[in-house]
Structure 1
Amino acid sequence: MTRIAYGKLMRFLTARLSPGGELGLHLTAGVIMLVVAVAAFGEIADAVGEGDDIARYDEQVSQWFYAHAFEPLTTIMFGITHLHGIPAMSVLSALLGLWFWRRHAPYWLLATAICVPGGMLLNVLLKHVYQRARPAFDEPFVTLATYSFPSGHTAAATLFYGLLASYVVTTSASWRVRAAAVAGAAAMVALVALSRVYLGAHFVSDVLAAMAESLAWLAVCITSVSTLRRRRAARQEQ
């Protein structure tokens, strides 16, 4: 590699890793997250479509939860799942958007407007692409006519809590607060996913695919809005 080519490469890498650049570290991190999430979703989808070991594992886990269900855990799981359905998540997203508006955070308001609704639309499209039947039981806890793959409740939770955690991570100066936000978001998503598998509404691969799908869409939304904000800020400084 010539000295000129090496210099160009170093300038390119420096720009991509610059925390403040309009096409810097935020874009690099977003692209990496998008690629990893899409790859993970693809692997899960391929395994489900080909009926690999994951399909047998899915069935075993579903039957185990169904056989070991007990009160009051079942009632708790119903409460968690109802709080993360489309009506409840729509209300929560609207309240989050209102909060961003009151805090004069227009770019986060824009991210909220496209993240959860857009991600849920993507989830519906993917359901019709794969058309996977839901787990079957003699006396199911829930009976749903829609397709199973990927999980809509888990997707909505990943989008909502992921967006909220992203806001805290980018605005808080305390690493403890940032770590708590990420851990709290992950815990809530895991809890919603568990409720869907426990109640027999989804297989494990359904909720894992929903997480991957939603993280990919979240990366697109956050990175796009962040790039828009940085570009406008750069133009105003000129």
Structure 2
Amino acid sequence: MTRATFSGIVSRLLHLARTELALLSGVLIVALGIWAFAGLADETFEVGGQAFDQAVLTAIRPGADPSDAWGPWWLQVAAGDITALGGIAVLGLFATIVVAFLLIQRKRLSAVMLVLGLVGGVMLSEGLKGVFERARPPALYQAVETINASFPSGHALLSTVFYLTVGVLLARILPRRRLKVFVLGTAVLIALLVGATRVYLAAHWATDVLAGWSVGAAWAMSLWLVASLIERRQRARHATLQDSPDPAAPPAARRDPMQP
């Protein structure tokens, strides 16, 4: 066996290990998300299970006036702006822009998965709210209007699904590892901030947000796993749904972004 042949085999094995490790990590995240949600649901709806939520609400909003919140006056204004990033209207607008861009770039599989992610996220949110029918924090504490049940937080769930999905899409096309880490870290940060503002504004109990993050992460990672498997299968069959490279791009730019 020549040195070149051996190096090629080692390179392929390392690439396979990285790829399969990513898939296994995705499965683990899905399992942990489901496990965390089940544990939160079990603890929350037991007798006396709201002690943690009540303690968090009292710490953040010690008074009955919505303006009587922990921190400077401008923090509540900033929280109101940030929480809108998880609303249906804002996410719908962002999603329309991203999907249009993906279709222009012939990334049909990514566009389909993003749409399925949001639509499925809305269905999960509303379905789980209907099952648990948990009451929101008392209205006199709330700094924003709320319209439906509390558990899980729809803002936390949908922002996790959308921003993580977009973050993964961007990370796949960026050339450097530090850029991938930055994009994914930013996506996670936005989702965390949106969820935190729901608690700060007393729109949700803390466990509602934790449950939303758990379900959102599990759903987003499930979609990524499905997309990865579909893309592998269709790439082998040269099907049309797979993310196609830009025909005008030079050959060097067309290689698989997941390859080293």
The TM-score normalised by the length of structure 2 is 0.77
* Paired position in structure 2 for 1:45: 41
Post-superposition offset of 1:152: 0.7
Q: Secondary structure at the match of 2:61?
A: helix
Deviation at 1:52, TM superposition (A): 5.4
What is the 5 A alignment of 1:206-217? 206-217=208-219
Candidates 181, 186, 205, aligned match of 2:207: 205
Is 1:65 matched with 2:60?
A: yes
Equivalent-residue separation in structure 2 for 1:171 and 1:36 (angstroms): 27
> Which protein is richer in helix relative to its size?
1
Q: Tell me the residue number matched to 1:91.
A: 93
Q: Match of 1:50, SS?
A: coil
Task: Please give the residue correspondences for 1:1-238 in structure 2 after superposition, counting only pairs within 5 Å.
Answer: 18-19=17-18, 24-51=20-47, 55-67=50-62, 68-69=69-70, 70-138=72-140, 140-236=142-238
Question: Could you tell me how far apart the structure 2 residues matched to 1:234 and 1:114 are?
Answer: 23
CA separation of 1:57 and 1:19: change in aligned 2, threshold 3 A: same
Contact 1:26-1:223 at 8 Å conserved across structures: no
The code of the aligned residue for 1:94 comes to T
Give the superposition deviation at 1:119.
Answer: 0.9
- 1:7 maps to none
- DSSP 3-state at the match of 1:83: helix
Letter of the structure 2 residue corresponding to residue 166 of structure 1 = V
Contact 1:131/1:149 (8 A) holds in 2: yes
Deviation of residue 236 (structure 1)? 3.3
Deviations 1:143-186 (A, max 9, x none): 42311111011111101110011113323231101111121112
Paired residues of 1:132 and 1:148 also in contact (CA < 8 A)? yes
2:51 is aligned with what amino acid? Answer: R
Q: CA deviation at 1:123?
A: 0.8
Residue 51 of structure 1 deviates from its aligned partner by 4.0
- Contact kept, 8 Å, 1:107 with 1:226, in 2: the verdict is no
Do 1:58 and 1:204's aligned partners in 2 also have CA atoms closer than 8 Å? yes
Secondary structure of 2:150's aligned partner: coil
Q: Secondary structure at the match of 1:144?
A: coil
- Contact 1:110 1:225 survives alignment (8 Å): no
RMSD after superposition: 2.0
Give the whole-Å Cα distance in 2 for the aligned partners of 1:161 and 1:84: 9
Contact 2:79 2:197 in 1 (8 A): yes
Asked whether the equivalents of residues 113 and 227 of structure 2 are also in contact (C-alpha less than 8 Å), the reply is: yes
In the aligned structure 2, how far is the partner of 1:39 from the partner of 1:183?
23
- Give aligned pairs, total: 218
Using a 3 Å threshold, how does the CA distance of structure 1 residues 52 and 222 change in structure 2: closer, same or farther? farther
TM-score calculated relative to the size of structure 1:
0.84
The alpha carbon displacement at 1:189 in A equals 1.1
Q: Deviations over 1:24-56 (max 9, x none)?
A: 455433322211111111111111121455x21
Report which stretch shifted further, 98-107 or 205-214: 98-107
Gaps of 5+ in 1: 1-13
CA distance in 2, matches of 1:29, 1:51: 35
